[in-house]
Amino acid sequence: MRLPIPFGRKGLIAAAAIAAGVVYWRVRVHRQGAADREWDEDVQSAIQDGVAAGRAATTREPAETTST
Protein backbone atom coordinates (compact mmCIF):
# COMPACT_ATOMS: atom_id res chain seq x y z
CA MET A 1 0.00 0.00 0.00
CA ARG A 2 1.51 3.28 -1.10
CA LEU A 3 0.29 6.55 0.28
CA PRO A 4 0.49 9.46 -2.08
CA ILE A 5 2.77 12.17 -0.77
CA PRO A 6 2.04 15.62 -2.10
CA PHE A 7 5.14 17.25 -3.60
CA GLY A 8 6.95 13.92 -3.49
CA ARG A 9 9.96 12.90 -1.49
CA LYS A 10 11.68 16.28 -1.75
CA GLY A 11 8.57 18.00 -0.42
CA LEU A 12 8.49 15.67 2.57
CA ILE A 13 12.16 16.41 3.31
CA ALA A 14 11.53 20.14 2.98
CA ALA A 15 8.54 19.95 5.34
CA ALA A 16 10.62 18.05 7.90
CA ALA A 17 13.38 20.66 7.65
CA ILE A 18 10.89 23.47 8.18
CA ALA A 19 9.38 21.69 11.19
CA ALA A 20 12.85 21.14 12.68
CA GLY A 21 13.66 24.82 12.16
CA VAL A 22 10.52 25.91 13.97
CA VAL A 23 11.25 23.59 16.91
CA TYR A 24 14.85 24.85 17.06
CA TRP A 25 13.67 28.46 17.01
CA ARG A 26 11.13 27.91 19.80
CA VAL A 27 13.66 26.12 22.02
CA ARG A 28 16.20 28.88 21.41
CA VAL A 29 13.69 31.59 22.35
CA HIS A 30 12.76 29.67 25.52
CA ARG A 31 16.40 29.26 26.55
CA GLN A 32 17.18 32.90 25.83
CA GLY A 33 14.24 33.99 27.96
CA ALA A 34 15.45 31.81 30.83
CA ALA A 35 18.96 33.24 30.51
CA ASP A 36 17.57 36.79 30.52
CA ARG A 37 15.54 36.10 33.67
CA GLU A 38 18.59 34.61 35.40
CA TRP A 39 20.68 37.65 34.39
CA ASP A 40 18.03 40.02 35.77
CA GLU A 41 17.95 38.10 39.07
CA ASP A 42 21.75 38.26 39.32
CA VAL A 43 21.76 42.00 38.69
CA GLN A 44 19.03 42.62 41.27
CA SER A 45 20.92 40.50 43.81
CA ALA A 46 24.14 42.44 43.17
CA ILE A 47 22.30 45.74 43.59
CA GLN A 48 20.80 44.63 46.89
CA ASP A 49 24.20 43.43 48.11
CA GLY A 50 25.73 46.79 47.16
CA VAL A 51 23.03 48.74 48.94
CA ALA A 52 23.44 46.61 52.07
CA ALA A 53 27.22 47.04 51.97
CA GLY A 54 26.85 50.80 51.55
CA ARG A 55 24.52 51.03 54.50
CA ALA A 56 26.84 48.92 56.65
CA ALA A 57 29.82 51.08 55.68
CA THR A 58 28.08 54.34 56.53
CA THR A 59 26.40 53.20 59.74
CA ARG A 60 28.48 53.76 62.81
CA GLU A 61 27.61 50.93 65.08
CA PRO A 62 29.61 50.53 68.25
CA ALA A 63 32.17 47.80 68.08
CA GLU A 64 31.57 44.79 70.24
CA THR A 65 33.63 44.96 73.39
CA THR A 66 34.50 42.08 75.59
CA SER A 67 34.93 42.69 79.28
CA THR A 68 36.60 40.21 81.57
Higher-confidence residue of 60 and 57: namely 57
Cβ neighbour number for residue 30 with a 10 Å cutoff: 10
State the average pLDDT over residues 27-36. 94
Q: What is the mean pLDDT of the chain?
A: 85
The pLDDT score that the predictor gives to residue 54 is: 87
Q: How far apart are CA 50 and CA 55, in angstroms?
A: 9
State the average pLDDT over residues 5-25. 88
Higher-confidence residue of 65 and 26: namely 26
